[in-house]
Amino acid sequence: MLTAQLRGYEDPRWLTYKQAAEHGWQVREGEKGTHIEYWEYRNREAVEAAETRDEKTDDRRERPVHRVYTVFNGGQIEGIPRHEPKVHPEWEVVQSAEQILENSGAKILHDRNDEAFYARVDDCIHLPPKAAFPKQADYYGTALHELGHWTGHPERLNRQTLTESYRFGDANYAKEELRAELTSLFLSAERGIPHDASRHAAYVGSWVEALKRDKNEIFRAARDASRATEFLLVLEREKSVLRALETLESRSSPDVLDRSAAPGPEAEMDLHQPNQGRGRERTSGVKAVDDSLAEAKAISGRSLGSSVRVYNAQTNSGIYRGEIIGETAHHVVQKLSDHSTVAHPKDLLGAVPSVGQNVVLRYSNDRVVDIAPFEPKTKSKGLAR
């Protein structure tokens, strides 16, 4: 993203020379590529276990795979189809940002005139009123920055740069500010929220000093910011799924049944004793979904190990690729990586893909818009330059 901004590229797509050639496209003569790094931990659990025991291992299988690739921006390539960026309506941007803040569960008070900060002591975010900001993007950029700090609390990600930062300007403070700003940036990029880094220029001096002391600090900061971003997006998705389930239950409750049909004994009960049995039915429905999710986690654990992360599908705009590894009463389980899976709600899928199929599922506005087979790349092809 930064390289694109520095070089004036408006296209977010990046390809290796070989990938462009495979599509019949050509990198323009004289164009210079950009280096990216690829890291993969083949056996993360074994490495972490050895570190816990303060042991060293020479087993090559437990060492990370590290490769450097040269990629070219879409703006450097001839023949590539024109990129049509998605334009997010302002209401959609506001709604998306509000959902992240609300679903986090963070305590947010608009009780300041001209300052914004996260207080560790009371575990609370303090902000000026929304009307004090010139633009909505300014408010959400600031709020998400402070929410980035909030993720580092000991009861959440327990981030050292937050927990051991004591005063403005110390080394950990500068590092933590960098992490919070990158979290705000990553969240904005994920949800199409405009990000104005100039509003946070006051922190740049401390960032520069932190990076001068250690040139690799930017990579550690990006790693921590990625974890914070993932943490917040998982909270958002889980709360969104719970609300969707409650909506589905309310739609299927006796209150919205067609009363024109001849009522039987059960319908008579619902009509004249509206509270009888409904709490039990609702509880039963929630329990069935919870049991299905628990089974999905068990399937994921048996397939990928106990440390696997299981996500609920983000049905407003998610895209997921991978092998279907299991099915429960209410969910289809898809492998995303060696360490993560996603649980798709069956009622949105229509035709349920079979276990063993490699498929791509695309959601939009809480419905599936496409389920298509795809051929996963082999490791040799995926790592080729």
pLDDT tens column, 11-27: 999 999 999 999 999 99
* pLDDT, greater one: 254 or 358: 358
**The CATH classification of domain 258-382, taken from the options 2.40.50.140, 3.30.450.20, 3.40.50.1820, 3.40.50.1000:** 2.40.50.140
Are 68 and 10 contacting, i.e. CB atoms less than 8 angstroms apart?
A: no
Residues facing residue 168 across a β-bridge: none
- Which H or E run includes 162? helix 160-163
Domain with CATH 2.40.50.140 in the chain: 258-382
Q: Cα angle at 221 between 219 and 223, to 5 degrees?
A: 70
Q: Exposure of 30 by Cβ count < 10 A (0-12 exposed, 13-18 middle, 19+ buried)?
A: exposed
Stretch 31-48: mean pLDDT = 73
Q: State mean pLDDT over 177-191.
A: 90
Of 112-126, 160-174, 245-259, 279-293, the range with the lowest mean pLDDT is: 245-259
Q: Give the residue, 128 or 215, on which the prediction is more confident.
A: 128
309-312 and 340-345 as β-strands: parallel, antiparallel, unpaired? parallel
CA–CA gap between residue 37 and residue 348 (Å, rounded): 37
Residue 65 confidence (pLDDT): 82
User: Burial of 181 by CB count in 10 Å (0-12 exposed, 13-18 middle, 19+ buried)?
Assistant: buried
Can you give the pLDDT at residue 275? 39
What residues does 71 pair with on adjacent strands?
16, 34
The residue-averaged pLDDT of 192-204 equals: 66
